[in-house]
DNA sequence: AAAGATTGAATAGTCAATCTTA
DNA sequence: TAAGATTGACTATTCAATCTTT
């Protein structure tokens, strides 16, 4: 009846926890490395890239601050100050929302698009080198589909 | 010759980038939620749990600060101050290293083990609910194995 | 000088309070 | 009053500087 789980009851003795653990460790290692390398190579912090990417993909290249915050991955709760910084660098500009005087729009500028296009291949290259290159097509699909399920379930529960 | 990549050259038009993207989004969403829920339920910050878990698993329940920093996932560069805080709460204690006067050992106390054992089932439950429950056995294995490959490759390149 | 650890100073991230418009 | 955004104040994270021991 004695089982090996007795020896180390808190560790990776079950598949779900082991998967979660490697998920955390991989994120910590890769995000830091890629962030540093992209900033070294382009001068653009990854958080700026994140904002410019979302604005560029949006209708008319602009979004309300709230929507921008919802789409961005890296600096969620800092968007207002982040946009300040990127605006100082001339890569976005704030515009009033014609439909709602309370809202503010952040719009990507020509310089912003230029910088985004310059940085993009470098970022994509790092993702390829550090992440995708080590996985097979089947593994990539399994990870993408699996995590999409997890994320969908999460968005279903949390508002 | 025209291809659809022309339309949206920066977005998720390739599997590697799409997988990376959902990887980032899942991490951002889940870590925040689980962190909050575990702290609410146990009073123990996840960063403390992280430290206690590694110390508990280590030989004699203690590690040199450097080794602890290397094993911890959440607050890598903060270990010294983190151990200060956990020490104030009586869950770890610093000990001199008999073999090297420069080094310091962090050792888990009885209270630390008690708190860890109390928090563990709650943390594991959240991992199950928010993460593992939404994946099949096959998906969990694919994610675990895939990310382990990625991490191994990373540790092979970066020292 | 170099390794191990801690600390100071700067940036990033979070939560609640505030200010403006609907 | 409530929604949208910004700001203040607090905590977390990081990097370089420092202090001690080898």
Please check whether strand D approaches the CB of A148 to within 7 Å. no
pLDDT tens digit string along B63-106?
Answer: 999 999 999 999 999 999 999 999 999 999 999 999 999 999 99
- Which three-class secondary structure state does DSSP give residue B108? strand
Is residue B7 over pLDDT 90?
Answer: no
Phi/psi for B128 (5° steps) reads -60, -50
pTM for the complete prediction?
0.91
pLDDT confidence band for B149 (50 / 70 / 90): very high
- Which three-class secondary structure state does DSSP give residue A106? strand
DSSP A93: E
User: What gap in Å lies between CA A131 and CA A73, rounded to an integer?
Assistant: 18
By C-alpha distance, the chain A residue nearest B8 is A57
pLDDT tens digit string along A103-135?
Answer: 999 999 999 999 999 999 999 999 999 999 999
Give one DSSP letter per residue of A7-75, joined into a string.
T-TTSS-SHHHHHHHHHHHHHHHHHHHHHHHHHHHHS--HHHHHHHHHHHHSGGGEEEHHHHHHH-SS-
Taking residues A40-47, what's their average pLDDT? 95
Whole-number pLDDT of residue A158: 80
Contact: A24, B8; criterion CB under 8 Å = no
pLDDT tens digit string along B105-148?
Answer: 999 999 999 999 999 999 999 999 999 999 999 999 999 999 99
Chain A residue numbers touching B19 (CB-CB < 8 A): 131-132, 135, 140, 143-144, 147
Please check whether strand D approaches the CB of B78 to within 7 Å. yes
User: What gap in Å lies between CA B115 and CA B49, rounded to an integer?
Assistant: 9
Question: Hey, CA dihedral for B13, B16, B17, B20, is it positive or negative?
Answer: positive
Contact: B28, A142; criterion CB under 8 Å = no
């Amino acid at each position: 009846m004695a089982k090996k789980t007795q020896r180390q009851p808190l560790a990776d003795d079950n598949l779900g926890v082991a998967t979660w653990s490697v998920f955390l460790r991989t994120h910590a290692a890769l995000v830091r490395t890629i962030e540093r390398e992209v900033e070294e190579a382009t001068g653009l912090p990854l958080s700026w890239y994140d904002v410019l990417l979302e604005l560029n993909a949006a209708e008319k290249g602009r979004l309300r601050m709230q929507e921008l915050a919802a789409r961005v991955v890296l600096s969620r709760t800092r968007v207002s100050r982040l946009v300040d910084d990127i605006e100082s660098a001339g890569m976005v500009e704030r515009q009033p929302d014609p439909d709602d005087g309370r809202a503010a729009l952040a719009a990507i500028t020509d310089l912003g698009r230029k910088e985004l296009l310059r940085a993009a291949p470098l970022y994509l290259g790092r993702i390829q080198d550090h992440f995708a290159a080590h996985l097979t097509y089947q593994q990539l699909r399994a990870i993408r589909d699996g995590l999409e399920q997890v994320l969908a379930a999460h968005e279903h529960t949390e508002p």
